[in-house]
Each structure stands twice: as structure tokens, then as C-alpha cells.
Chains A and B, each alone.
Chain A
Amino acid sequence: GAGVSQSPRYKVTKRGQDVALRCDPISGHVSLYWYRQALGQGPEFLTYFNYEAQQDKSGLPNDRFSAERPEGSISTLTIQRTEQRDSAMYRCASSLVPREKTQYFGPGTRLLVL
């Protein structure tokens, strides 16, 4: 595709529900990154994949957060038993190769947990 796409763009859910956020990277990009951006802050790193392998998940805040990229393309970030503090913009980025200079960001999914 022309750019990184994410869906849904907006998600409103009730506390305790599970949510799945999807990222479709730029075609051919090996590396995929997830970030979380709280209101009024810059993005914070969550996790990173090369192809289907999750290389680094040090930024995931707790075990309610998980991510997968089973076929090395589309990725899903899942938040189980959502809490109000999970409300944020969740951003995906991709790069052509690992440690390429520039990461290209998607439009983000804005999550609101009521």
C-alpha cells in the first residue's frame, strides 16, 4: 500500500473488554513497531517485529498487552481486560529493513476506555 494503515481509527470500549488493534505496514517492510501516545505526550515504544518474530517487547506495560504478526505482514495489538488508563492513541510504524534510519507512521487508533 501507499502507507501504513491502521484500523479501526477510533475505538470506544467498556472497561474489562478486550480490544484488537490492527496495523497493515507499507508493502515489503520487514520491520514493524507499535507505540502508544498519551494525550499531550510523544509516542512511547511498546514492541517491535522483524518479519513474524517479535524482537523486543520491553515496552509493553503489563501482561494484558500482547502483539503478533503471524505472517510477517499485518500485525495485531491486543489489550485484554481494558482499563481506563489504557486510553491513548496507539500508533504503528514500519521500516523497510531493521534499524533503517526512518520509521513511517500510520494514522493511529484512538482508544477510549469508559
Chain B
Amino acid sequence: AQTVTQSQPEMSVQEAETVTLSCTYDTSESDYYLFWYKQPPSRQMILVIRQEAYKQQNATENRFSVNFQKAAKSFSLKISDSQLGDAAMYFCAYRSAGSNDMRFGAGTRLTVKP
């Protein structure tokens, strides 16, 4: 069974600085997708970034980028120039290309200090 582990229950960053959130996963599949979702206090689930396992290039979306290490089964999220609006729970998620359900980690709560 695939599992997703986020080892940092809470993280804190100073506004305008950079923070990295960690995620590891366990799978025997070769074709899969990885995601980071943001859950602000409103409890919406907002897609931040997506990575296809077959792509070697790390995905980037503006201030958000990932470090995807397939051999190590690691998928960390880097937030640059942190803003107060980045404060939220961040969930790492995995989905096999051949299945429909997503597996989520337990989340990391990010606090941004002004």
C-alpha cells in the first residue's frame, strides 16, 4: 500500500524568507503523480503544485517549487519569499496513475511571522 509521510507537524518562517516542507512516500509503482495542496483557515483545499513521476524536471509555480527525488521517494515543497497569506496547512498527496484515489499525508501547519 502506498503511504505518504509528512514528518513536520508544524513549521514557521519569517515573512519574505524561504521555507521547505518535507514529504516522503512509499510505493512500488513507477508511474504516479505527486501533489501539494494548501488548506487555509477557510478549510478549502487548493492545489499548489503537481509533479509527474516521469518528469525529471522539478515543477515550479511562481514562488512554489518542488525538489522531487524519485529514487529517494522524496517530494519537498519550497516556498520562496513567504507571504502572510501562505499560512495554512499543507498536505502532500500521492496518486498512482492507474488508480483513482489519492493518498494524503497528515499535513504540516505553516506559520508565517511578520
Residues on A facing B (Cβ under 8 Å): 31, 33, 35, 40-45, 48, 55-56, 59, 89, 91, 93, 98-99, 101-105, 107-108, 110
Contact = CB atoms under 8 A, between A and B. Distances in A.
Q: Chain B, interface size: which category?
A: 20 to 34
A107 B39 CA distance: 10
Nearest to A107: B44
Contacts of B101: 33, 45, 48, 56, 59
B64 interface: no
Interface string B73-107: 00000000000000000010100011111111111
B102 A103 contact: yes
A112 to B, nearest CB: 14
Contacts, number: 58
Interface of B: 4, 33, 35, 37, 42-47, 50, 52, 91, 93, 97-107
A45 B102 contact: yes
A3 to B, nearest CB: 9
Contact of B45 (A40, A44, A55, A91): A91
Given A33-B101, A42-B93, A102 B47 contact: yes
B21 to A, nearest CB: 13
Contacts of A107: 42-44
B52 A99 contact: no
Nearest to B107: A42
B50 A101 contact: yes
Given A41-B106, A42-B105, 17 more contacts: A31-B100, A33-B100, A35-B102, A42-B4, A42-B104, A42-B106, A42-B107, A45-B101, A48-B101, A59-B101, A89-B43, A99-B99, A101-B33, A102-B35, A102-B47, A108-B43, A110-B43
Contacts of A91: 45
